[in-house]
Structure 1
C-alpha cells in the first residue's frame, strides 16, 4: 500500500509538462481573510536575473532578525522540497504531501487540472498560512502580469532588473518586459528597484498606473556597501537590504542594515558556486547573456578566463545563439557541449554546433561526469537544471 508521500509523488509527476493556465481561478482556492494575509505579508520578487539571490539574501536577513519566514523559489536543484523553505529549512515530505486532498478536491469541483508550478506554489501559500508566519518571500516564475504567483497581489514588490529573456511571452522591448514584470501586483503599496536607472526610466509609468507615494519607492544604492565580493552578488544583496528596510514597519526587528556585510552570508546554491579549488571549478545556472556576464565577471575575478574550460548545456526556448556568441567572444581554453538528454528539457546541442562550425570555432562533446573528473579549471553553465543534475550526482 502506498504512503501519502508516494501518492503525492505520483500526483506531482503527473503534472510535469502541463501549462500554468488556471490563474483566473486560483484565488478561489483561499478564503478572503487568507488572501488578505497573503497580500499584506508577501514580498513578490520579479526581474530577469537575481530573483533567487535576492530572495535568498532577504530570507537570511529576516532570519537574523528572528522573523519567521516562508520562501518560495524555483526551480529546485536536487529535490522539489527546496522550493519551499520554512525558516531556512526545506519543507518535509510529510508537509509537502499534507495538502494533497485539498488540491484534488479543488480540481474536481472546478473541472480543472493544476500544472506542476501551480501545485507547488499553492502548497507554499497554504503552508505559510497554516503556520501563521511573518513574511512570505515569493519569487515569480516567468514575467509578472500572467505569472501564477500574481494572484496574491502583494503589497510589496521588488523588481531586480530587466533584460531580454522569454521575449516570446513578455515582449520584444525592455519597456514591454518591464510592464509585464511590474504588474505582478495590481496595486502595490511599495516598490523596491534593484537599479536606480530602472526606476528613473519608468518613473512616469509607475506614478500614472499605481497609487503609490514617492516615499514608498526604494532603490538600490549598492556602492554604499563595504564588501570584498563580486559586484553582481553585492547588487542583489544590497537590493535585499532595501527590501528589509521597506518592510521593517511589519516587523518587530531592528533595521540596522549598515551592520550587514555580504561576506558574512552563505553563497546562493547554484550561483557562482565554487565546487572545487584545486583545480578551480565553478557551477552557475546562467541562462541568458546578462547572467552570463555576471558569471564571467565572477570567474575573471578568481582567475584568467583564458585558463578555463567551459561546459555548456541550455534548456529549450532560451536565446541560445546570443548565449554562445557571448561565450565565443572570450578566449576559453576549450568549449565543451554537454551531450544531449543530460537534463530536463535540454536544447539539442546541434543548435550550438551549427553556430560554432559556421564561425570556425573548435569544440567537442562532453558529459557532466567529464566536468567532474576534469583536472583543468572549468565552468559548468547554461541552465539551473544542468547544475542540478551535477549536484545530484557529485555533491
Structure 2
C-alpha cells in the first residue's frame, strides 16, 4: 500500500455525489430505500451483534459521540463513526479511538466497488459518497467484531444513511436551525427529521431542548413506545481553568462527577452530562463513577473550544457556526475568557452569517476574515459585502496562514485570539499552530 493508492481511492470516492461539498437547495437525493439496497448488496453489514448507539442533533453530536467512545473503550472494543473529518477521511472511522488504517480503508473500498458495480451499471443508480463511506465503517466494525457501535448521523435523521441501523439507544443533542434547505425552515420540521432515528421500544436520551423541539421528540417517543430520558444535572460550585483545562463538578441523580476537559465552556458540561446519562441507561455495560470520570478526562475532540498557547498568545479554537453555537461561544467567553480579543472568522456556504455579525457587534472585536481550502468555504467577497453592509471594520486575508500571521502582528503578548464561524477555518489554524510547535 502506498500513499498513491490511498489518494487514488479517495479520488474515486469523491467522484460520487458529496453533499458535504456541494449542497443544493433542489437536492432530493436522500432516499433510505437506496441505502437499504446498498446494505443488501454488501451482505447487510449494518446488522451485527454490537450494541448500537445512534446520535443525532444540531450541535454537540460529534463531541457526545467522542465522549461515549472514550468512556466505553476503557473496557470494550468500540467502533466510532463521525463526520466531517478535519484532516483525513480515516478520522471518521475509529476503533478504540484509533483511525482505520489506510490499507484497511483501501481494501474495504475495493470490496465495496466490486460488489456494487454491476448493480450501478444495470440500474443507473449511483450510491453517494456518504453511503459508501458509511458502508465502509459498518464493514470495518463488523470484521473487527466490535462490542459497541457509536454512529453519528450525517444530516438530519429520518433519511440519513445511518438510519438503516436498528439501534439500541438513540441520543439527541440540542436542536436548532441548520441546513434549512434540506431539513425545513422551522424547528418542528428539523426536530421531526432528527427524531426519525427513534426506534420502536428503544431508549431515547436527550439533552435540554427548546420547547418546540422537545414536544416533537416526546411525541415521536410515545408513538414508538420508547423510554424517553431527559438529561439534567446541576453544577456544584464554579468551573475554573487550570493548565488550559476546564475543571468542574456536576451532580447527576445524587452522584457527583469531577469533569476535567480539553473543551472549555458550559456547553461541554451539557455534552458530558448527556454522555453520562446515556452510559447509565446501558444495562449491558457497567461503569463506576471513577471510570466515567477517567473516560471524560481522556477525551479530546479538536477545534471544539480548545485553548492553545502559541507565540505568547492564547488561542481559543472553536467550531461555532450557527445561532446556538455562537450563543455557547458567547457564554464561554463571558465565563472563562478575556472579553477583549481578536477574531479570526470564516464561513461555509449555506450557513447564515447573522449570528456571527451579532457576535462581532457585541464585542466590537478586531476581525480578520479568511477562508479554508474546503470546497464549501464561502467566498471572501460575500463575507466582505455582509460586514460592510453592517458597518463592521475588518482585515482581509486570502487564506488561514495569512490570517494567523495577521493575528500575531495585530495582537500583543498574552492577548486572546478566537477562531470560529467555520470548523474548517478553525481546523486549519489549529494545524498551523501544531505544525509550528513540532
TM-score by length of 2: 0.80
Correspondence for 1:12: 13
Choose from 385, 388, 402 the match for 1:370: 402
Correspondence for 1:334: 366
Do the aligned partners of 1:62 and 1:69 also contact (CA within 8 Å) in 2? yes
TM-score by length of 1: 0.88
Do the aligned partners of 1:56 and 1:268 also contact (CA within 8 Å) in 2? yes
Mapping for residues 1-395 of structure 1, pairs under 5 Å: 4-15=5-16, 17=18, 21=30, 23-30=32-39, 34-37=45-48, 41-64=51-74, 66-111=75-120, 112-187=125-200, 189-195=202-208, 201-202=215-216, 204-212=218-226, 216-223=227-234, 224=251, 225-227=257-259, 230-247=265-282, 249-251=283-285, 253-256=286-289, 260=293, 264-276=297-309, 278-305=312-339, 307-320=340-353, 322-339=354-371, 342-366=373-397, 367-373=399-405, 374-375=407-408, 376=411, 377-395=416-434
3-state SS in 2 of match to 1:27: helix
Do the aligned partners of 1:27 and 1:152 also contact (CA within 8 Å) in 2? no
In structure 2, relative to structure 1, the CA distance for the partners of 1:147 and 1:236 (3 Å cut) is: same
RMSD: 2.7
Moved more, 106-115 or 223-232: 223-232
Do the aligned partners of 1:29 and 1:106 also contact (CA within 8 Å) in 2? no
Do the aligned partners of 1:267 and 1:273 also contact (CA within 8 Å) in 2? no
Give me the whole-angstrom Cα distance separating, in 2, the residues matched to 1:355 and 1:5.
40
The alpha-carbon deviation at position 85 of structure 1 amounts to 0.9
3-state SS in 1 of match to 2:48: helix
In structure 2, relative to structure 1, the CA distance for the partners of 1:13 and 1:394 (3 Å cut) is: farther
Do the aligned partners of 1:311 and 1:371 also contact (CA within 8 Å) in 2? yes
Give me the whole-angstrom Cα distance separating, in 2, the residues matched to 1:382 and 1:7.
32
Give me the whole-angstrom Cα distance separating, in 1, the residues matched to 2:117 and 2:136.
17
Do the aligned partners of 2:157 and 2:163 also contact (CA within 8 Å) in 1? yes
Do the aligned partners of 1:49 and 1:162 also contact (CA within 8 Å) in 2? yes
Do the aligned partners of 1:50 and 1:160 also contact (CA within 8 Å) in 2? yes
| 1:290-349 residue CA offsets vs partner (Å, 9 max, x unmatched) | 1122123223333322x21111111111112x223322332243011115x643311123
In structure 2, relative to structure 1, the CA distance for the partners of 1:258 and 1:132 (3 Å cut) is: closer
3-state SS in 1 of match to 2:225: coil
The alpha-carbon deviation at position 208 of structure 1 amounts to 4.0
Q: Any stretches of 5+ residues in structure 1 without a counterpart?
A: none
| Corresponding residue pairs, total | 385
In structure 2, relative to structure 1, the CA distance for the partners of 1:207 and 1:384 (3 Å cut) is: closer
Do the aligned partners of 2:57 and 2:194 also contact (CA within 8 Å) in 1? yes
Give me the whole-angstrom Cα distance separating, in 2, the residues matched to 1:337 and 1:257.
44
RCO comparison, higher one (Cα < 8 Å, 6+):
1
Give me the whole-angstrom Cα distance separating, in 1, the residues matched to 2:135 and 2:365.
46
Do the aligned partners of 1:234 and 1:262 also contact (CA within 8 Å) in 2? no
The alpha-carbon deviation at position 354 of structure 1 amounts to 2.5
Moved more, 262-271 or 352-361: 262-271
| 1:13-39 residue CA offsets vs partner (Å, 9 max, x unmatched) | 32364686463132234467754427x
Give me the whole-angstrom Cα distance separating, in 2, the residues matched to 1:389 and 1:259.
31
Q: Any stretches of 5+ residues in structure 2 without a counterpart?
A: 20-26, 235-250, 252-256
In structure 2, relative to structure 1, the CA distance for the partners of 1:164 and 1:354 (3 Å cut) is: same
The alpha-carbon deviation at position 260 of structure 1 amounts to 2.1
3-state SS in 2 of match to 1:183: helix
The alpha-carbon deviation at position 91 of structure 1 amounts to 0.7
Correspondence for 2:23: none
In structure 2, relative to structure 1, the CA distance for the partners of 1:140 and 1:271 (3 Å cut) is: same
Moved more, 122-131 or 228-237: 228-237
Give me the whole-angstrom Cα distance separating, in 2, the residues matched to 1:120 and 1:382.
26
